[in-house]
Amino acid sequence: MGLMDKIIETIIEHGPITFERFMDMALYDPESGYYSSKEKRIGREGDFYTSSHLHPVFGVIIGKQIYEMWEKIGRPEAFDIVEMGAGEGYVCRDMLEYLKSTAIFKHLNYAIIEINPLVKHRQEKLLSEFSGKVKWFQSLDDVAGVRGCFFSNELPDAFPVHLLEFQKELKEVYLKADKGELTETLGPLSNRAISDYFASINIHFDEGYRTEFNLRIREWLNDINKVLKEGFILTIDYGYSDRDYYSEDRNRGTLMCYHEHQLNENLYENIGYQDITAHVNFSSVKKWGEDIGIKTTGFTSQGAFMVSMGIDEEIRKISENSKDYAMEIARIKKLIMPQGMGDSHMVMAQYKGEGLPQLKGFSIRNQVKYL
């Protein structure tokens, strides 16, 4: 049975489903979901690329921040890095390549959470040099007593979201089946947490305004909190604060699809064969973290983060050793310049433990107060 048939069958059996349920099936259905597929989805041959595909310096910069985190919590004998959504494993490889010559390396335990066995196999092949350092797990439930850092690069944007529309009041988008096609219909909010959140931030919407709500982020933080004993959550993704996310100008939301490196808004085409993403509301990440005792210590753009961490020093090293300096600089510019990922991607650091450590990555510009 194809994925479209499975979705329609679910609707016939249970009635209209939320867009969140549809997005969950489209991306994570065990047999036919986009992220469960046997096909390569990320990189030059796939549908999109991330910062880790542009240049190894991205992993170096993350490694530098990890090293400082280790120092900030007293250089413990064992420091755990847990990476979720590791993609092909490039950040892990580049980070460990940098850290292997530093004092932290012998204290590191690196865990990758990966549900797709084929992706895991590719990661194992890429990371064969560090086979004694990296371990794989199916879920966060498999790691416990973590003292260190939970790291993700472009993960929460792939969590299924509730699709909302304002028609005299906030409504939720549901999907029904009509002659083998999916059609939208509006209904009541499926979870009271949605209305509670919007009541708490006092946002006004114009008639017809569309947006999303990522409630899975709250579940994700709760899951991390259960296994994080002390340390940091370092999250990199594209997104905004409440104020920017729900601005008047963004009245169609942020949902978008990627298929063969092409961006589109055709949510109900190529089901299971295209990525569906929504920008992250970092204000909600901050709020839900604070609700469970996780404090936000830093929030800034990826460009400002990398400059704060000494990207200029790494560029100087590259200039001394590179065989194609112009090509490498062109790629690095995409990581840090305002026209690219330097501004579109944000970096957030949260902390669980005593005090509130200040990190170098947020020394030039820390925008926590705007969340």
Beta strand 256-259 with 262-264 is antiparallel
The total domain count for the chain is 1
Which residue's structure tokens are 């879920």?
139
User: What is the overall mean pLDDT for the chain?
Assistant: 92
Per-residue confidence at 44, pLDDT binned at 50, 70, 90?
very low
In one-letter notation, the amino acid at residue 19 is F
Total count of residues recorded for the chain: 371
Percent of the chain with pLDDT over 70: 95
CATH of residue 214's domain is 3.40.50.12710
Q: Please check the confidence at residue 22 and state whether its pLDDT lies above 90.
A: yes
Q: Is residue 362 part of a domain?
A: no
Helix, strand, coil % in the chain, rounded to nearest 5:
40, 25, 35
Name the strand (E) or helix (H) holding 174: strand 169-178
- Contact call for residues 197 and 32 (beta carbons, < 8 A): no
What is the C-alpha to C-alpha distance for residues 248 and 158, in angstroms, rounded to an integer? 24
Q: Which stretch of 13-22, 81-90, 287-296, 334-343 has the lowest confidence by average pLDDT?
A: 334-343
Of 159, 188, 174, which is closest to residue 284 (Cα–Cα)?
159
In-domain check, residue 54: yes
Task: Specify if 168 maps to a domain.
Answer: yes
**pLDDT confidence band for 331 (50 / 70 / 90):** confident
Question: Of 65-74, 257-266, 270-279, 330-339, where does mean pLDDT reach its minimum?
Answer: 330-339
Q: Cβ–Cβ contacts within 10 Å for residue 266, how many? A: 11
Range scoring the smallest mean pLDDT among 29-33, 102-106, 225-229? 29-33
| 49 within domain boundaries | yes
Mean pLDDT computed over 158-177 = 97
Instruction: Give the pTM.
Output: 0.93
Question: Which amino acid type is present at position 75?
Answer: R
- Residue 43's pLDDT band, with cuts at 50, 70 and 90, is very low
Q: What are phi and psi of 319, to 5 degrees?
A: -60, -30
- H helix runs in 100-204, sequence order: 117-126, 192-201
pLDDT digits (tens, 9 = 90+) for 348-368: 999 999 999 999 999 999 999
pLDDT of residue 38: 63
Question: How much is the average pLDDT of 300-310?
Answer: 95
Strands 146-153 and 79-84: parallel
Could you tell me the residue range of the domain that residue 6 belongs to? 1-355
Residue 112 lies in a domain: yes
Query: φ, ψ for residue 217 (rounded to 5)?
Result: -60, -40
Residue 360: inside a domain, yes or no? no
Is 137 a domain residue? yes
Is pLDDT above 50 for 271?
A: yes
Q: Measure the CA–CA gap between 82 and 65, rounded to whole angstroms.
A: 14
pLDDT at 323: 77
- What's the rounded Cα separation, in Å, for the pair 184 and 173? 6
Per-residue model confidence (pLDDT) at position 304: 95
pLDDT tens track for 76-121: 999 999 999 999 999 999 999 999 999 999 999 999 999 899 999 9
Rounded to the nearest angstrom, the gap between the alpha carbon of residue 239 and the centroid of all alpha carbons in its chain is 10
pLDDT band at 49 (very low <50, low <70, confident <90, very high): low
Average pLDDT, integer, range 43-63 = 69
Task: Please determine, for residue 53, whether its predicted confidence score (pLDDT) is greater than 80.
Answer: no
**Integer angstrom CA distances of residue 80 from 107, 227, 228, 260, 304:** 8, 11, 10, 35, 26
Mean pLDDT of 318-346: 82
Examine residue 370 and state whether it is found in any structural domain, yes or no.
no
pLDDT over 70 at 57, yes or no: yes
Average of pLDDT values for 140-149?
A: 95
